[in-house]
Structure 1
């Protein structure tokens, strides 16, 4: 067991607060001695923001791992019998050592499972644990960990009441049980207050700023989107409209965030489902009319034609509603063929349009030929250097990929 005055125990107590944010500071304890209040030395703890010297925490990590390994028999016994009484010092050690391990490795499965066991046994509040995950998600490495986001949803299912009937007890004893929804990792059928829902949306936004193109943070937001769609019409319509505005503003500021573009397409696909649930409220549908996803995507492509993410966003926005031969999207793509930096993306987009229209079939040979055209491999695509108009280039793409020698 660690001494109450050891650095390991001191850090564990600071993490149990929990802090608002955590930052690993470059250097060792000596580099921060002058800035550290004596009551928290060698750590910085100011207004619940915790700073930990990086070299020091790596040494503490090793000690915490050894201590947690020493406590494994007690942890396994608790997992077998959640009603097993534990000494206060054992609970504190399990709590503190697992927290320290997660600061250095936010995807530490053993540490997360130990904390789940403490929660199920009634030794740790899930609300406090949610606050601790807030702090872990302020770490750049923590914000990108799928395991940590999954742990957060696990906590939400224990904090908030389920609308489903509980499973009947077979022995008459009230014991912790698996919450409905754990298997498919959903928040649907839970009563999440508006402020808690907004807090989750804010956490994902902060994580996406901290780690660019943060797939797992956007995946967490997609789970929240499914929850919003499941709400009664009076709540979901307003939230969906606000979420659409926020997502579009985000994409305009982060034009290379392909995870955000994917989420934007998921959001647009969810709008018709929300509209069916809210027949008295008009929600914009996918299409190319003013305010649609396609018009928004096209405006971004026009502003930033060299970003592949935005061309893929435009494809997603048009999926299910293929553009007509002279649609604004296709016209712009033909125009973009004259721009050297946008050529590759424009060629691939036009090939996708032709595939949507049924003019070509996807095959390995067809894809190779499209790639040759898109990558300017003139020696492989005869006549491409002699073409001067966008329409003629489109014709070459169509004719070359439909030639007999490229048949399936």
Structure 2
């Protein structure tokens, strides 16, 4: 093992070169790690490449990391010159060993802005660093900066295409160019979702990974209901396997709130579930007749009014279905995995979100003088047929009870079809919404057959919250 300063310099330069050559030999490396090895046992390179895994023997890290660290600091202090290729190699080696070194990421930002680096290459480097350090905050921050650069480039290309089309240039490839931009954005979004999932699996309650995932959806899929709905569906299996990970359930709460907001833009946003099919049919009929007469008074076409009403009903149906399925999932997990506070906290948040959404809708209808189809009272109970219908096709649960059988792949989920709203008009009962009586009934059932002291404590706390917070609100 090298001891003198000159020998250390030669050793480190050789290791940095070996790492660079490893990426050239195999551009599909998908994981890095440190191999426990206190000392050099063989006269060979400490860089090990097996299939798509890159390993660094631990004995050389104590020489390698200080060396590249000092080299980069001297360069930033203008005391040592490094060409662009050397900067790329040194920052790559340094960030694989210590991704929270902000100076190295800043240097790579400068190289990217100069055109030396491609944004995809930095995303790839960050992905590898997260396999070893999945919670690294500086890596997540840099990824967001790179994604902003990509979004800016795509926006600039889009504006340039519109200008060319305005002046009569390149009209033919316009549709093709737009499709390429859309495909590129879709691929980038899919890759980010996978990076976040892998990091969340490697580190429990990885707040940085889940926050980044929320940021990606807010900036790259804002307003895209299908993407949000697919995320909500694909994450069912993940949260079922990580019932104590609050960050994952917080992500579901974000998705549920965003979907409710998007689907509730056109009032009336919250449907009313009556106590029987006949009541529901009469309510919809009265509402339809009111809108029909209003449309005739204003000279509107009955066909356009019917299409608008059908779209409203579809949004109402979807919002109601989302909350019903989320409460069903929460019930299954609480019964299958007793004693997990995260599940009870998630149930509380979902019910409170529905409670506020229903209240805001009623206030909106009252303030605008609109016709409220009905009011969803806490005393309304869900008919037995609703529970059987909603749980049909659910499959088996995680622990042998009920389990959602929706496909977990992103492209397997779909929003309700327009014919669902036609069924609503014909009087078919929809799944019942969360209500105080059903929640009290659920808690009572848990307490009756509860043998876990923690489960009992959480159930009593939830019941107290229902009585003191929800029941006392106007």
TM-score range, shorter chain: 0.5 to 0.7
Gaps of 5+ in 2: 1-5, 158-180, 267-310, 356-377, 380-434
Q: What does residue 122 of structure 2 align with?
A: 129
In the superposition, relative to structure 1, how do residues 211 and 15 fare at CA in structure 2: closer, same or farther (>3 Å)? farther
Is 2:16–2:93's contact at 8 Å kept on the other side of the alignment?
A: no
2:330 to 286, 289, 297: 297
For residue 316 of structure 1, give the secondary structure of its aligned residue in structure 2.
helix
1:67 to 36, 61, 71: 71
Residue 271 of structure 1, CA deviation: 0.7
Is 2:48–2:56's contact at 8 Å kept on the other side of the alignment?
A: yes
CA distance in 2, matches of 1:91, 1:55: 28
Residue 12 of structure 1, CA deviation: 4.7
In the superposition, relative to structure 1, how do residues 197 and 224 fare at CA in structure 2: closer, same or farther (>3 Å)? same
Q: What does residue 21 of structure 1 align with?
A: 31
TM-score, normalisation: structure 2: 0.59
CA distance in 1, matches of 2:116, 2:352: 50
Residue 251 of structure 1, CA deviation: 0.8
Structure (1/2) with the larger helix percentage: 2
CA distance in 1, matches of 2:61, 2:110: 25
Q: Where in structure 2 are the equivalents of 1:174-213 lying within 5 Å? A: 193-213=185-205
In the superposition, relative to structure 1, how do residues 109 and 352 fare at CA in structure 2: closer, same or farther (>3 Å)? same
2:459 to 341, 346, 357: 346
Q: What does residue 327 of structure 1 align with?
A: 437
Is 1:75–1:114's contact at 8 Å kept on the other side of the alignment?
A: no
Residue 132 of structure 1, CA deviation: 0.9
Residue 109 of structure 1, CA deviation: 1.0
For residue 52 of structure 1, give the secondary structure of its aligned residue in structure 2.
strand
> Are 2:360 and 1:250 equivalent residues in the alignment?
no
CA distance in 2, matches of 1:104, 1:5: 13
Is 2:19–2:47's contact at 8 Å kept on the other side of the alignment?
A: no
RMSD: 3.2
> Are 2:55 and 1:51 equivalent residues in the alignment?
yes
Residue 134 of structure 1, CA deviation: 1.4
- Encode CA deviations 1:259-302: one digit per residue, 9 max, x unaligned: 001001001001123325795865732678642x2222222112
Is 1:16–1:96's contact at 8 Å kept on the other side of the alignment?
A: no
- Encode CA deviations 1:118-140: one digit per residue, 9 max, x unaligned: 2122222222111111111111x
CA distance in 2, matches of 1:155, 1:276: 33
- Encode CA deviations 1:193-217: one digit per residue, 9 max, x unaligned: 2122111111111111111221111
CA distance in 1, matches of 2:53, 2:329: 39
1:284 to 293, 318, 321: 318
- Encode CA deviations 1:55-103: one digit per residue, 9 max, x unaligned: 3223210111121122113499xxxxxxxxxx7x522332222222222
In the superposition, relative to structure 1, how do residues 349 and 42 fare at CA in structure 2: closer, same or farther (>3 Å)? same
Q: What does residue 314 of structure 1 align with?
A: 347
CA distance in 2, matches of 1:224, 1:298: 30
- Point out the structure with max Rg over C-alpha: 2
CA distance in 2, matches of 1:5, 1:274: 55
> Are 2:293 and 1:271 equivalent residues in the alignment?
no
CA distance in 1, matches of 2:77, 2:261: 50
In the superposition, relative to structure 1, how do residues 68 and 15 fare at CA in structure 2: closer, same or farther (>3 Å)? farther
Q: What does residue 356 of structure 1 align with?
A: 469
- Encode CA deviations 1:111-165: one digit per residue, 9 max, x unaligned: 11121122122222222111111111111xx211222111111111223445767
- Encode CA deviations 1:351-377: one digit per residue, 9 max, x unaligned: 2212322549xxxxxxxxxxxxxxxxx
Is 1:144–1:214's contact at 8 Å kept on the other side of the alignment?
A: yes
CA distance in 1, matches of 2:436, 2:32: 54
In the superposition, relative to structure 1, how do residues 15 and 128 fare at CA in structure 2: closer, same or farther (>3 Å)? farther
> Are 2:250 and 1:262 equivalent residues in the alignment?
yes
In the superposition, relative to structure 1, how do residues 63 and 298 fare at CA in structure 2: closer, same or farther (>3 Å)? same
Is 1:71–1:94's contact at 8 Å kept on the other side of the alignment?
A: no
1:225 to 202, 205, 217: 217
Q: Higher RCO, 1 or 2 (CA under 8 Å, sep at least 6)?
A: 2
Q: What does residue 272 of structure 2 align with?
A: none
Residue 332 of structure 1, CA deviation: 2.4
